[in-house]
Structure 1
Amino acid sequence: MLPHPALPQDLTEQVLEFPDNFLLIDLCGEHDRNLAAIEVKLGVQILRRGNRLAVVGDEAQARAGAQVLMALYQRLETGRSVEAGDIDRELRMGPSEQGTGTLPGDQMEMFRGATGDRVEIKTRRKLVEPRTAAQKAYVRALFDHEMAFGIGPAGTGKTYLAVAVGVSMLIGGQVDKIVLSRPAVEAGERLGFLPGDMKDKVDPYMQPLYDALADFLPGKQVAKLIEDKQI
């Protein structure tokens, strides 16, 4: 693409057009924070003009910024969300791994690469995609085996992904019921002194599971499934 007439000779402008304004809003993020993250990492400026984004910088960085934006937009088109980690991953991949097609003519096709290694979990509210190789192996094991164990440090997505797989299999008719189980009594703890019945005592320990369910199913449906003893 030729440099913009108003730009210094060492800068170019990559202009991208996005057909879905609602997805464009998600792409930009709250208060354009996603755009700001890309600007800081690549040293470019991203200008918003209606349903278009213009990436201004030196040729290599402007092209890299445009490629990152299109990769994230295509992610949104498939029903997935864009989080800070997704932006960092696209930036780490670098232009050489993202393709070298022309922009904007091939801007959509250049990111529709092979998805054979992609693992996706479809739920009512969102499409969940494990991010790491270990998470992908874990999800495959959950789908392929009657019993699977996930061992790892806290905060690595074990509970969240397990609930996602359970919901996916329930709405897909592969299972009839989801049983939520969690070690309610940690080492040295006792439940007897806590107020309420057993459900009241255990519910705080189950909250992470309920929070995950709320991410994958509408609230009324969760309540109905619990009432019907399907969860």
Structure 2
Amino acid sequence: MVEKVITLENVSLVEFLGPDNQNIRQLAAAFPGSKVVSRGNEIKIQGQPAVISRINDILSALIEHYHEYGTITDKTVSQYLSSANEEVEEARMAAAPDVILFGAKGGVIKARTANQQRLVDAVMKNDLVFALGPAGTGKTYISVALAVRALKNKEVKKIIISRPVVEAGESLGFLPGDMKEKVDPYLRPIYDALEDMLPPEKFKFYMENKTIEIAPLAYMRGRTLNHAFVLLDEAQNTTPSQLKMFLTRMGPHAKVMVNGDRSQIDLPTKQKSGLNQALDILRDVPGIGFVEMTADDVVRHRLVKEIVLAYDQFDTEQEQERADQANRPVRPAQRRGE
């Protein structure tokens, strides 16, 4: 363990260190494997050389901030800590180009199957991408990771994520709470993914200033989505008019992803899926990417893959049985007395 001492000069210790040294304690808490202690006008740092270098850089930036603005608050410390963490992540990303993102707890988020990598590549090449496939193939998770990466890299100014709210036997009007409380359960998988990828304070900040918007599909009507990464999840449950409305919201410098599982359509029986119609209409339009996931891309519990395959086999057998019945000759009705 190495030690470094920084001497504060021409600085009001009360203003710089904060009440009860809260600014320095906040800095120390961000580096639990090291020790940061203030004694008079000296700050002593103990830790590994690389960590000491990062803490020294942050303290130098805070000292410059103090000389320019005359004060340091806990929010100031948080901003410089966040900026330092983003610089470290950029360096880590450069060293590991196959990584999409480093999660909030340091975990690596990257494509785990060939089709997931095709999805990543398709988003890099196209402004509109359809990701299709069964549950558990990582469509939503990879898409959210790509959106967060685009935001961190300043390729977009905001993230907009939407899902159609399709009721499953229980009317929204009879559920308790306001509209947000009614629809949040439908959007919970999106929140879960974002919480994996962003520190709690950052996620809260992005939500409060609308840098990240999570909303039902109906809220997209009438908007033009510029400089944004826009994701429509569960698109198999859109109607044709809803999906057309969503696709025509696409503004300049936007990335749009449409995810769906054609085997899990929850629309009323006679209602056509907007996703199926869009695939028929747009399949040959240049500049649109299509990636088809399969049971081999399932990254949940091993049984999920077997469940998907079993249902696929059942659906195939049912289709074959219906086809056989349609081709079977109709027996003429017998007359009475014959």
- TM (norm. structure 1) is 0.47
Higher relative contact order (CA 8 A, sep 6+): 2
TM-score (norm 2): 0.33
Which structure dedicates a bigger proportion of its chain to strand?
A: 2
